Structure 1
Amino acid sequence: MRWLVLSLALLMPALAQTFEVASGEARYRVKEELLQVGITDAVGTTKAVQGRVTLQGGRVSGEFVVDLRELRSDQAHRDNYLRQNTLQTDRFPTATFRPKEVKGLPNPLPQSGKASIQVVGDLTLRDVTQEVAWEGEAEFRGQEVRVFLKTEFPFERFRLVQPRVPVVLGVENRIRLEVDLLLRRR
């Protein structure tokens, strides 16, 4: 009987654990230089984030989807320009991330505490898919995990064209993406 209990205890970390997005926010940040304002961060956010992830041993699978049509900044003109030109949300309404690997995640997952993590996977923007590494932190709270991750890349990595409009003197060739997710165990 003792060997059965020991065998089950050893198998527990290998059992699959699935988490769904309970709430979340995705953001972009791009430095821009505006006429009569100077250098500032353009920030757009959306809470239209869905997804789930399954962890089993050292493997990860799942998908996260962000509705790009819901991105909002402090400027409606910027938002319209991004939707129509840069992101072309009429043809490509979502961004999708499919994780392939999570580094730094404790196994088994703790009931509390924090861990620095790196998540590697495939990000699809418009019709381009590239492998991207996200850096951040996971905070464990019983059946929930709050995850904050960020990554950055140049516009051309996803064949995006830097915005060029008269009131914008320049846009840095660096897009920073951030996600803040509350994942709940299913």
Structure 2
Amino acid sequence: MRTGLIAGSIAAIVAALVSLPLRSPLDNAFNTATVALASLIIGIAAGLVWDKLAASQRRLPYYAGVLVMGLIAVVVIAAVGDIWLERFLSFTAPLAVIAFSVSGVVAANLGRVPLTASRWPAPALLIVAAVIGIGLVGQGDADSGDLSLPEEAVTRSAVESLQYLVGEGSEITFTVGEQLSRLPLPSDAVVRTEALSGGLNFDGQPSEVTVDLLSLSSDQSFRDRYMRDRMFRDFPVAVFTVNDLADLPPEFFSGEIFTRQVTGFLSVNGIEVPLTFDLEVRNDGDVLNVLGRTEFTWDQLQIRTPNIQNIVSVEDKVSVQLLLVAKPK
């Protein structure tokens, strides 16, 4: 058993670290903690198999055969799972190869040597594996909904305009906490789109930004289909309107970043709700950059929280980040 614990702990450490740059199919189910746990189980199993075959004259080939069959079984399961969950195979296969290879080699070599020395290596390695596996959860490739203002232009163009068209470079992200049923680890689902249009007017006329909800995308196609086919099928656009942006500080004309709050009305699902954005604004002359942040709840929009019974539960609060890149008319 001690041989398997050592082998599994080493495999868990290696596999957890290797998993960081890989694209997880689902962060709250496939992360460093679950990778480390699976690798530890494989290592323990490898140690038990090696001990079980102690009396066999063909111990090594039988042992290798069992590990290869185990690896093949995991890869086949991952390939089938890839039909429903993107990146299941590309994430699982290389980690399975590492876990089975490291566990197999370490368990076989340790199994040939009597472990009469100090007993500290097994618990020490197990603690290290647990610290790495649990401590690095949420690190790596997890998608982020954070946006920021583009880099400031080297030289500011002397363009004086009070009317701007929203265009290329604009983006909006929606971030909501979600949790898979029976799993203790929550994660953030991030959906985003660059399909924004509209105009910003600082001359007293209303300003309007339109978001194409059917173009929203995330890191999972099943989530995208749910949004496209069920959530927003009957109301494909959202429109945010502000009646007056004319109250401009001196920083607007000097090109310095300034902050302000703007309250307008969000029209979606056939209703209008008031919404306040915290803004950071920088006017580069020929380009106006606006970064906004706000929150809303599904109840505000009269949209049923998109939970999938017994599979996924979603938090009620949605965080929004909006980057508008607009050019003078």
Calculate the TM-score normalised by the size of structure 2: 0.47
Larger deviation: 100-109 or 61-70?
A: 100-109
Q: Per the alignment, in what secondary structure is the counterpart of residue 38 of structure 1?
A: coil
Alignment of 1:26-175 (within 5 A): 26-35=172-181, 36=183, 38-56=185-203, 59-87=204-232, 89=233, 91-102=234-245, 105-107=248-250, 109-165=252-308, 166-168=310-312, 170-175=313-318
Q: Does structure 2 retain, via aligned residues, the 8 Å contact 1:104–1:117? A: no
Partner residue, 2:118? none
Provide the rounded CA distance (Å) in 1 between the counterparts of 2:244 and 2:189: 30
For the structure 1 residues 175 and 103, does the alpha-carbon distance in structure 2 shift closer, same or farther, using more than 3 Å as the test? farther
- Structure 2: give runs of 5+ residues left out of the alignment: 1-159
The aligned amino acid for 2:302 is R
Per-residue CA distance 1:66-98 (angstroms, 9 max, x = gap): 1101000011111111223333x2x21100011
Q: Is residue 2:131 matched to residue 1:18?
A: no
- Which protein has the larger Cα radius of gyration, Structure 1 or Structure 2? 2
Q: Does structure 2 retain, via aligned residues, the 8 Å contact 1:29–1:42? A: yes
Runs of 4+ in structure 1 off by over 3 angstroms are 101-105
The aligned amino acid for 1:64 is V
Q: Is residue 2:325 matched to residue 1:182?
A: yes
Provide the rounded CA distance (Å) in 2 between the counterparts of 1:104 and 1:152: 24
Provide the rounded CA distance (Å) in 2 between the counterparts of 1:156 and 1:81: 19
Q: Per the alignment, in what secondary structure is the counterpart of residue 316 of structure 2?
A: coil
The aligned amino acid for 2:235 is F
Provide the rounded CA distance (Å) in 2 between the counterparts of 1:53 and 1:181: 10
Compute the RMSD of aligned alpha carbons: 2.1
Q: Per the alignment, in what secondary structure is the counterpart of residue 178 of structure 1?
A: strand
Provide the rounded CA distance (Å) in 1 between the counterparts of 2:246 and 2:257: 14
Identity %: 26
- Structure 1: give runs of 5+ residues left out of the alignment: 1-14
Provide the rounded CA distance (Å) in 2 between the counterparts of 1:16 and 1:143: 9
Per-residue CA distance 1:81-133 (angstroms, 9 max, x = gap): 1223333x2x2110001112449741583141100121211101111111111
Provide the rounded CA distance (Å) in 1 between the counterparts of 2:306 and 2:197: 28
For the structure 1 residues 37 and 43, does the alpha-carbon distance in structure 2 shift closer, same or farther, using more than 3 Å as the test? farther
Provide the rounded CA distance (Å) in 1 between the counterparts of 2:228 and 2:275: 22
Q: Does structure 2 retain, via aligned residues, the 8 Å contact 1:86–1:162? A: no
For the structure 1 residues 118 and 104, does the alpha-carbon distance in structure 2 shift closer, same or farther, using more than 3 Å as the test? farther
Calculate the TM-score normalised by the size of structure 1: 0.81
For the structure 1 residues 101 and 78, does the alpha-carbon distance in structure 2 shift closer, same or farther, using more than 3 Å as the test? same
Q: More helix per residue: 1 or 2?
A: 2
